[in-house]
Structure 1
Amino acid sequence: MTARTLPWLVGVAALGLLGAGAAWYGFSQNEVNLAGAGECRASQPVAESLKPLARGELAAVGVSNAPKPPPDIAFLGPAGQTKSLADFKGKTILVNLWATWCVPCRQEMPALDKLQAELGAQDFEVVAINVDTRNPEKPKTWLQENGIRHLAYYADPGGKLLQTLQKSGHVVGLPTTFVVDEAGCEIALLKGPAEWASDEAYTFVRTALGRP
């Protein structure tokens, strides 16, 4: 067990207290996702190209065998407006769920910020969604104090997003990260932290984008 893994497991235990009934819902959600998988068949070649790249710092990333639409979630955008993943269609996004009380979340935020700085463009964005439910100004202050300058601020202070993703099986602890391609199809999922400013991460994202 690594130093990076231990605090994540603590977060898993904490979030597990909120997961009653999630298993049954997960099976139901899987049936819904299977119904939508047909529209994501065109994303399969991209997913296949990513499988051999889930190694090194990204060894724990699960690349989808059958890309499918992600769960329908809502959150707040930088101006406080309601957003959904559908708003990003046409752009590949790396969705990261984080909280100020989550140690490994805080540890990987500088790397996510660097990933956005290096690769962020019209075709790619790191969508880091804060899920703190108390003191909505605290996450913004933390980002400023720690020099996180390139990530737009997304948040779900109501906590509904986290509940939805727990029920769908996406979240067992924080951080959780998943990749949605330009067609709006989920192609990869990571339950836990990673070094997002690594060579492996850059290669993974560039390949997802079809960049050389």
Structure 2
Amino acid sequence: MTQNNTQKATGTLRNDQNRLIFKKGFSFSGYERDALFMNRDGKKFMDISGISGIDSISDGRAAVFADFDNDGDEDVFLTTIQGPGHLLFRNNVGQDNHWLRIILDGGKETGRDAYGSVVRVKTSARTLTKVKAGGSGFLAQSDPRLLFGLGQDPAAQSIEVTWSNGRVENFSADARAGSTLWLHYGTGRAEEVELAQSKLPDPLTKAESLARGLKFRIGERLPSIEVHSTSGQAVNLRDIVRPGRRAIVNLWATWCIPCAKEMPELNRLRAAFAQNGVDLIGLNLDTDPDAHIREFLQRVPVDYPIYKGGAAAIEQLFATEEVAVPLSVIVDQNGHVEQLISGWSSETKQKFEALTRSTTPH
């Protein structure tokens, strides 16, 4: 963060603060995690925050519960102040149980939306009660359609509505499991409606998320970028990769802790890479001209060539402000990107070791 006492710097400070809060995920409330609990037969609750993925440290603004895909269970939609602004969590719990969906039409007497009305659905186990509410949280409204879980019952035994004006009405209907019923005020009848099911998209894999943050794709030519050797000589990145040989272009930065762990391991494998027709190239992405690259390389010595790309390389490689390093771009014999290896772990180490044994992509 940039800070000094001059008036000119005030805007810079505020911009940096906004960047930390809204872009980088800086928290107003101490990184409190969101919680999600699952009802265990009405006897206790189980904390499933972690395994559900909903335990975000972002500052939430509102939570909406709605059956977005019409599969009979409520999904969760969160809005946050910073970081990813919208988070959709698909509910896959209890898919074998039955359900009944109720839509209320209060007409002129209680208002078409029938807010404040109470619906009671009787099952073999108990009577379930829900209130038609207009919203909750900050500028949020959950699904106006009311979902009732029937367990393994093939149908609900009865449906009773206490409308918001106090009138109690029983509805006769074939309230079979998996159906959606539209209840009209004052008629005592329920109209069954058909709702098309949809499929919510699967979450992005790590590889898909990484690909979205890059300006180049697997199968494309290595980007044409002017880089500089440690002695200051300008050269195109494509020209560094020798024709007929594969290459590992390892992106790193001095501020990257995993890079300092990965680079010695890559250096250890350098001879094995070369013997298998794979050249190893390092590309530094520090944007600060005062970055102590030479000092870093003295602490983390490597024998393979190092080039400096800086801000210009970042601009041509990354599609977002998120610079994901370490990142190794595996280039085939024709200069096309064939694989991406992101981060440093035992898994990525195995991927690098595989490059010492085979001349075909993995």
The structure, 1 or 2, with the larger RCO (C-alpha pairs under 8 Å, 6+ apart) is 1
- TM superposition score normalised by structure 1: 0.58
Q: Does structure 1 residue 83 correspond to structure 2 residue 235? A: yes
Q: Structure 2: any 5+ residue segments left out of the alignment?
A: 1-22, 25-205, 209-216
Deviation at 1:200, TM superposition (A): 4.2
Structure number, greater radius of gyration: 2
Q: Tell me the equivalent position of 2:354.
A: 203
Question: Is structure 2 residue 307 aligned with structure 1 residue 154?
Answer: yes
Q: CA deviation at 1:166?
A: 0.8
Deviations 1:60-118 (A, max 9, x none): 778xx962212222211243222223212412111111111111112211112112243
| Greater strand share, structure number | 2
- 1:111 equivalent in alignment to 2:265: yes
Tell me the residue number matched to 1:180.
331
- Out of 235, 240, 247, the position equivalent to 1:93 is 247
CA contact (8 A) 1:111 1:197 kept: no
User: Relative to structure 1, is the Cα distance of residues 195 and 114 closer, same or farther in structure 2, using a 3 angstrom cutoff?
Assistant: farther
Q: 1:145 and 1:177, CA in 2 relative to 1: closer, same or farther beyond 3 A?
A: same
- Tell me if structure 1 keeps the 8 A contact 2:225–2:238: no
1:23 matched to which residue of 2? none
Q: Give the whole-Å Cα distance in 1 for the aligned partners of 2:224 and 2:344.
A: 23
| Residue 296 of structure 2 corresponds to residue 142 of structure 1 | yes
- CA-atom RMSD in angstroms: 3.6
Residue 134 of structure 1: CA displacement? 2.5
Q: Which runs of 5+ in 1 are unaligned?
A: 1-12, 15-59
**What does 1:119-130 correspond to in 2, within 5 Å?**
119-120=273-274, 123-130=277-284
1:104–1:202 distance in 2 versus 1, CA, 3 Å = same
Residue 133 of structure 1, CA deviation:
2.4
Cα distance in 2 for residues equivalent to 1:131 and 1:160: 9
In 2, Cα distance between equivalents of 1:66 and 1:200:
17
- From the superposition, tell whether residues 119 and 204 of structure 1 become closer, same or farther in structure 2 (CA, over 3 Å): closer
Q: Are the equivalent residues in 1 in contact too, given 2:269–2:356 (CA < 8 A)?
A: no
Q: Percent identity over the alignment? A: 25
Aligned residues: 152
**2:222 matched residue in structure 1:** 70
Distance 1:136 1:102, change over 3 A: same
Deviations 1:12-42 (Å, cap 9, x if unpaired)? x76xxxxxxxxxxxxxxxxxxxxxxxxxxxx
Alignment of structure 1 residues 25-44 onto 2, 5 Å? none
Query: How high is the TM-score relative to the length of structure 2?
Result: 0.36
Task: Give the CA deviation at 1:193.
Answer: 2.6
Relative to 1, partners in 2 of residues 1:198 and 1:165: Cα closer, same or farther, differing over 3 Å?
A: closer
d(CA) in 1 for partners of 2:351 and 2:277? 19
Give the letter aligned to residue 308 of structure 2. A
| Residue type at the aligned position of 1:201 | F
